Amino acid sequence: MNKILLFFVFLFVLAGCSSEDKPGLKFTEKGREVPSFNADSAYQFVQQQVDFGPRVPNTEAHQAALSYLESKFRAFAGSDAVFIQRFEAEGYDETLQLGNVIAAFNTTAPDRIMLSAHWDSRPRADEDTTRIDEGILGADDGGSGVAVLLELARIFKDTPPPIGVDIVLFDGEDYGRSGSLQKYFLGSRHWSQNPPVPGYSPRFGILLDMVGSENAQFPKEQYSLSYAPDLVEEVWSIATEKGHGDLFLNEEGAAVADDHVIVNEQARIPIINIINHRRLPGGGAEFGAYWHTHNDNMEIISRETMGAVGDVLLELIYNRL
């Protein structure tokens, strides 16, 4: 039996024995020791992704980055606990070769959570004034969320989490042209419609998107508030307790279309999005000045921002579930 088959077998076991009395979205302090997040390590994980160049579907850099992520997660989770969900999707004038990256930790635990980000970067810089048709590095838009999850994976290897954790990195999130959402979220659509583990139902999911820039602000995103309000309140109250109230704003943000909308509506998993944005007076979303430009590079990446997000997630995972 090959490794991929083995992976499916253990995941079927997981899906089949989820307990009926799941704690759901209830949280209590458990008094457990919480490992510390290494922001320098997370910063390096952004740098390593950016070093491949723009991780645009159907490019060599995209393939190289996928191999890098596969080998990193194999090192952290074990070879049998990593699965690349390869698939094709129709782009504008091309068929895209895409892959979602899935890594499972504490694989025998029936009680699980899901952590996500997108690993592709945008094929165009449509908010820039130059080189609009060239792919962007996506240090923050894509890279930072993946980097925080790589650092968590490194920690999970040393200190297994008290609950099952599945890291799911979506491909093809940022492929679409602005003006229509049709060609966005290609990976989360495929994953939700073709679940590698039929019946997979983690307690909840958390999506990280643009969690690494300087001057970031995370107001409470609107879809997140409607899908999993108790989880939003827990995450934001942990942030306040830990002194990160300047980042995790105790106010309502905008409704931001992102992978979490697909995962909630198609896979029926309650999931929130931690995303750097501001809510405009009319209710719309505004993103950082670097967003969808060539300035989304290492110069705007902040160890402090990633460190704060990592601290909050570690407290949640190790001490509140």
Interacting residues with Zn ion (CB under 5 A): 141, 174
Q: Which is nearer to Zn ion, 62 or 203 (CB)?
A: 62
Least CB distance from residue 215 to Zn ion, whole Å? 18
Least CB distance from residue 78 to Zn ion, whole Å? 31
Q: Which is nearer to Zn ion, 52 or 291 (CB)?
A: 291
CA–CA gap between residue 75 and residue 68 (Å, rounded): 11
Q: Which is nearer to Zn ion, 91 or 195 (CB)?
A: 91
For the packed helices 145-158 and 303-319, what is the interaxial angle rounded to 10 degrees?
50
Q: Which is nearer to Zn ion, 127 or 234 (CB)?
A: 127
Q: Which is nearer to Zn ion, 144 or 192 (CB)?
A: 144
Contacts of 5 (CB under 8 A, 6+ apart): none
CA–CA gap between residue 260 and residue 258 (Å, rounded): 5
> Of 216, 189, 321, 185, nearest to 278 (Cα)?
216
The answer to whether 300 and 140 are in contact (CB under 8 A) is: yes
**Residue given tokens 């001057």 in the structure block:** 215
Q: Could you write out the DSSP letters of every residue in 108-152?
A: T-SSEEEEEEE----S--TTSSS-TTSPP--IIIIIIHHHHHHHH
Least CB distance from residue 136 to Zn ion, whole Å? 8
DSSP-based three-state secondary structure for 218: coil
Least CB distance from residue 9 to Zn ion, whole Å? 36
Least CB distance from residue 91 to Zn ion, whole Å? 16
Q: Which is nearer to Zn ion, 141 or 166 (CB)?
A: 141
> Of 132, 17, 120, 142, nearest to 59 (Cα)?
120
Least CB distance from residue 119 to Zn ion, whole Å? 12
Least CB distance from residue 291 to Zn ion, whole Å? 7
Q: Which is nearer to Zn ion, 141 or 311 (CB)?
A: 141
The answer to whether 239 and 308 are in contact (CB under 8 A) is: yes
Least CB distance from residue 135 to Zn ion, whole Å? 12
Find the distance separating the first CA and the last CA of the chain, reported in whole Å.
35
Contacts of 320 (CB under 8 A, 6+ apart): 27, 28, 29, 30, 234, 238
The answer to whether 107 and 10 are in contact (CB under 8 A) is: yes
The answer to whether 70 and 148 are in contact (CB under 8 A) is: no
Least CB distance from residue 122 to Zn ion, whole Å? 5
> Residue 282: what residue type?
G
Q: Which is nearer to Zn ion, 99 or 288 (CB)?
A: 288
Q: Which is nearer to Zn ion, 34 or 255 (CB)?
A: 255
